[in-house]
Structure 1
């Protein structure tokens, strides 16, 4: 399990055609916003690629994400770094994590089959686990979403059954996020009632007002939206608000 219970998400503006900027700009963006997290108490960060791609992650996406992850590790050597890649690609995030020595990855559709805005998506889990084993990087932890809330399951599989599948397949932690905060807590409770002992992560909807309840129900949480600076643009060098981060951590540590 990760040392830190609270993971801040840092979304990178797209590398896509017509949108990409210089690597110097991306490095300034990532390091500036990571500093807001680290200096105010969040020392685990998930670096999140948001480049929409029809197939596997392209070489440019992999290279740029790995380069930015390496820059974060150099600037903040004690950081627990995570990687998520937007493309539905079973090995991309693990390959990037291997390249920049990240501690974990998040895979959104780990088991089963779902449909989202990009179409039908099959399970990433089996190939991802096989690739991780093949390169000898079992130390890279996999945080696997159980019925990611941005997609719809193609069959009526109960959430706790999907959690059981992900646990058995080899996920190191289960990301469980319902349609509301209360639904999230209910899903976690039902997974526990089924006897699932794999650590759980709440993947969204955590705020300073409910973080204490979140940490009493789950082993870890991911937070981002609640910490955004009011009115900040997606490409702002100060997109995450230091004051909100500090107050969130104060609430979490009560």
Structure 2
């Protein structure tokens, strides 16, 4: 953990399907759901969270996605102006996330396919990093970009070593890099590789993070995205709360004690 003073921990609140993916989903219910679960993070020690859109699309972000993500981020930033907030869209789109984050006052975006090319269930997806950087410049936007080097939901372009993929993302302009393998051992290999490179920017693990492995992760990089391991074991039927306040607090307390451990 050499590029930051304290660990960067980011919570992730995943949205239900909506719009053309689920026309029956109430938007007002999504607003209440987001506020309930983000509040659980902010009030229990995780002060940086992103809202994750999961609507399936083969092309650019859909209009309802741009509208909803902008609206949700604006709502959260109005209620919690001092806390850090980001967003991620399921669509591989270099423009829509930057636009939504900029107009809503969000602090950062996560872009899953930033450089290179990846094979996913829905087909080949190509990096949108150059487009994102150009659009950010056009808007004079201060939004930070967290870029995945590989999206673990797909297979990266063959023949590209992880060192080269890391370099591509770093040199294209990402403010921080997210490294996640298809399993935890591969993730460790990735972050140990990045640790030996002169990147001068934070590296985070993007998945499979929990209370038991967070110290090992922080020994080799600057932070992590954590979500599934902090969810409630059982969600009340019809309930909106899905993340466990006690798990969040315990995890945040453990991270806070990282530098003081024996």
Q: TM-score, normalised by structure 1?
A: 0.94
Instruction: Decide which of 68, 71, 77 is 2:72's aligned counterpart.
Output: 68
CA 1:35–1:111 in 2, change beyond 3 Å: closer, same or farther? same
Instruction: Decide which of 95, 100, 107 is 1:103's aligned counterpart.
Output: 107
| Offset of residue 4 of structure 1 | 6.7
Contact kept, 8 Å, 1:49 with 1:86, in 2: the verdict is: yes
| Offset of residue 19 of structure 1 | 4.2
Task: Work out the CA distance in 1 between the residues paired with 2:237 and 2:15.
Answer: 9
Aligned to 1:28: 32
Instruction: Decide which of 24, 34, 59 is 1:55's aligned counterpart.
Output: 59
Aligned to 1:252: 255
Matches within 5 A, 1:7-18: 7-17=10-20, 18=22
Task: Work out the CA distance in 2 between the residues paired with 1:173 and 1:52.
Answer: 26
Between the two proteins, the alignment pairs up a number of residues equal to 253
Name which of structure 1's ranges 101-110 and 209-218 shifts more when overlaid on structure 2. 209-218
Task: Work out the CA distance in 2 between the residues paired with 1:25 and 1:128.
Answer: 31
Name which of structure 1's ranges 139-148 and 3-12 shifts more when overlaid on structure 2. 3-12
Contact kept, 8 Å, 1:167 with 1:196, in 2: the verdict is: yes
Q: Following TM superposition, where does structure 1 have runs of at least 4 consecutive aligned residues deviating by more than 3 angstroms? A: 1-4, 233-236
Instruction: Decide which of 175, 196, 199 is 2:199's aligned counterpart.
Output: 196
Unmatched 5+ residue regions in structure 1?
none
Is residue 2:222 matched to residue 1:210? no
Cα deviation, 1:180-203, whole Å, max 9, x if unaligned, reads 223222211212324333210110
Is residue 2:118 matched to residue 1:114? yes
Aligned to 2:260: none
| Offset of residue 50 of structure 1 | 0.9
Task: Work out the CA distance in 2 between the residues paired with 1:236 and 1:161.
Answer: 45
Root-mean-square deviation (CA, aligned residues, Å) is 1.9
Contact kept, 8 Å, 2:235 with 2:241, in 1: the verdict is: yes
Task: Work out the CA distance in 1 between the residues paired with 2:237 and 2:217.
Answer: 27
Task: Work out the CA distance in 2 between the residues paired with 1:181 and 1:154.
Answer: 20
Contact kept, 8 Å, 1:14 with 1:20, in 2: the verdict is: no
| Offset of residue 236 of structure 1 | 4.1
Name the SS of the counterpart of 2:55 in structure 1.
Answer: coil
| Offset of residue 45 of structure 1 | 0.5
Task: Work out the CA distance in 2 between the residues paired with 1:53 and 1:234.
Answer: 29
Name which of structure 1's ranges 194-203 and 87-96 shifts more when overlaid on structure 2. 194-203
CA 1:6–1:235 in 2, change beyond 3 Å: closer, same or farther? farther
CA 1:128–1:38 in 2, change beyond 3 Å: closer, same or farther? same
Q: TM-score, normalised by structure 2?
A: 0.91
Cα deviation, 1:47-106, whole Å, max 9, x if unaligned, reads 111111121111111101110111111111111001101111111111110121111100
